[in-house]
Amino acid sequence: MKILLRFVCIYLTVVAFGAAADVKLPRLVSDGMVLQRDKPVHIWGWADEGEEVTVTLGKQTLSTKAQAGRWQLTFKPLAAGGPYVLDIQGKNHLQVKDVLFGDVWIASGQSNMELPLRRVKYQYLNLIESTHLPRVREFNVPVIYNFKGPVDDYPQGEWKAAEPANLSGFSAVGFFFSRALHEKLKAPIGLITIPVGGSPAEAWVSEAGLAKYPHYLAQLQPFKSDEFVAKTIATDKAASAGWYADLAAKDEGLKGNWSNENLDTKDWKNFTVPGYLKEQGSDFIQGAVWFRKSFNLTAEQASKAATLWMGVIVDGDQVFLNGKEIGQTGYKYPPRIYSVPSGLLKAGKNTISIRVTSYTANAGFVKEKRYELDLGSEAIPLAGDWQYKIAARTGDMPKTTTLQYQPASLFNAKLAPTLGLAIKGVIWYQGESNTTRAKEYETLMPDLISDWRGQFKQGDFPFIFVQLANFMDAYPEPRESDWAATREAQRKTLSVKNTAMVVASDVGEWNDIHPLNKQAVGERLALAAQRIAYGNKKIVTSPNAINIKRDKKSLIVGFDKAGGDLEITKDGVLHHIAIAGADKKYVWAKAKLQGNKLVVWSDDVAEPVSVRYAWADNPEGANLYNKAGLPASPFELSLQ
State the Cα–Cα distance between residues 220 and 147, nearest whole angstrom.
7
Residue range 418-443: average pLDDT?
Answer: 98
Pick the last residue of a domain from 336, 365, 393: 393
pLDDT of residue 10: 36
pLDDT of residue 578: 98
How far is C-alpha 617 from the geometric centre of its chain's CA atoms? 18
For residue 166, give the nearest of 105, 206, 118, 218 by alpha carbon.
118
Q: How confident is the model at residue 640 (pLDDT cuts 50, 70, 90)?
A: confident
Decide if 230 is inside a domain: no
Which of 184-206 are b and which e, b meaning 16 or more Cβ less than 10 Å from the residue's Cβ?
ebebbbbbbbbbbbbbbbbbbbb
| Beta-strand pair 93-109/81-89 | antiparallel
Residues 25-64 have pLDDT tens digits of 999 999 999 999 999 999 999 999 999 999 999 999 999 9
How far is C-alpha 195 from the geometric centre of its chain's CA atoms? 6
By percentage, how much of the chain surpasses pLDDT 90?
A: 97
Decide if 497 is inside a domain: no
Which of 27-65 are b and which e, b meaning 16 or more Cβ less than 10 Å from the residue's Cβ?
bbbbebbbbbbebebbbbbbbbeebebebbbbeeeeebe
**207 burial class (0-12, 13-18, 19+ CB within 10 angstroms)?**
buried
State the Cα–Cα distance between residues 244 and 485, nearest whole angstrom.
37
Is residue 97 over pLDDT 60?
yes
Neighbours of 156 (CB within 10 A): 10
DSSP state of 197: T
How far is C-alpha 177 from the geometric centre of its chain's CA atoms? 14
Residue 633 is part of which domain span?
Answer: 545-638
Cβ contacts of residue 257 below 8 Å, gap of 6+? 263
Contact 265, 389 (CB under 8 A): yes
Decide if 57 is inside a domain: no
Q: How confident is the model at residue 12 (pLDDT cuts 50, 70, 90)?
A: very low
By percentage, how much of the chain surpasses pLDDT 70?
A: 97
Long-range contacts of 78-81 (CB under 8 A, 24+ apart): 78/35, 78/37, 78/38, 78/41, 79/37, 79/38, 80/37, 80/38, 80/187, 80/188, 81/37
Decide if 411 is inside a domain: no
Cross-sheet strand order for the sheet of 577-580? 587-588, 577-580, 610-613, 635-638
Is residue 9 over pLDDT 70?
no
Q: How confident is the model at residue 6 (pLDDT cuts 50, 70, 90)?
A: very low
| 91 vs 10, residue with greater confidence | 91
Residue range 504-527: average pLDDT?
Answer: 98
Decide if 254 is inside a domain: yes
Q: How confident is the model at residue 224 (pLDDT cuts 50, 70, 90)?
A: very high
DSSP-assigned letters across all residues of 578-629: EEE-TT---EE-EEEEETTEEEEE-TT-SS--EEEES-SSS-TT--EEETTS
For residue 122, give the nearest of 519, 516, 522 by alpha carbon.
516
pLDDT of residue 21: 66
Is residue 4 over pLDDT 60?
no
Cross-sheet strand order for the sheet of 269-273? 269-273, 384-393, 287-297, 348-358, 316-321, 324-329
Pick the last residue of a domain from 346, 365, 393: 393
Is residue 630 over pLDDT 70?
yes
pLDDT of residue 3: 39
**CA-derived radius of gyration, the chain:** 28
CATH of the domain at 278: 2.60.120.260
Residues 142-176 have pLDDT tens digits of 999 999 999 999 999 999 999 999 999 999 999 99
| Helix, strand or coil, per DSSP, at residue 213 | coil
Q: What values do phi and psi take at 98, rounded to 5? A: 60, 45
Residues 276-326 have pLDDT tens digits of 999 999 999 999 999 999 999 999 999 999 999 999 999 999 999 999 999
Decide if 587 is inside a domain: yes
State the Cα–Cα distance between residues 409 and 151, nearest whole angstrom.
10
Decide if 504 is inside a domain: no
Is residue 127 over pLDDT 60?
yes
Which of 472-486 are b and which e, b meaning 16 or more Cβ less than 10 Å from the residue's Cβ?
eeeeeebeebebbbb
pLDDT of residue 242: 97
pLDDT of residue 501: 98
Residue range 527-548: average pLDDT?
Answer: 98
DSSP state of 631: B
Which residues on neighbouring strands pair with residue 133, listed in sequence order?
A: 162
Tell me, what amino acid is at 431? G
Is residue 616 over pLDDT 70?
yes
Decide if 613 is inside a domain: yes
Domain count, the chain: 2
pLDDT of residue 165: 98
Residue range 219-234: average pLDDT?
Answer: 98
Contact 496, 463 (CB under 8 A): yes
Its pTM stands at: 0.95
Instruction: Write the secondary structure of 523-586 as one string of H (helix), E (strand) and C (coil).
Output: HHHHHHHHHHCCCCCCCCCCCCEEEEEEECCEEEEEECHHHCCEEECCCCCCCCEEEECCCCCC
Pick the last residue of a domain from 393, 410, 441: 393
End-to-end distance of the chain based on CA atoms, in angstroms? 85
C-alpha atoms less than 13 angstroms from C-alpha of 577 in its C-beta half-sphere = 22
**597 burial class (0-12, 13-18, 19+ CB within 10 angstroms)?**
middle
Residues 371-408 have pLDDT tens digits of 999 999 999 999 999 999 999 999 999 999 999 999 99
pLDDT of residue 445: 98
Residues 516-532 have pLDDT tens digits of 999 999 999 999 999 99
DSSP state of 220: H
DSSP-assigned letters across all residues of 29-50: SSTT-EEETTS-EEEEEE-STT
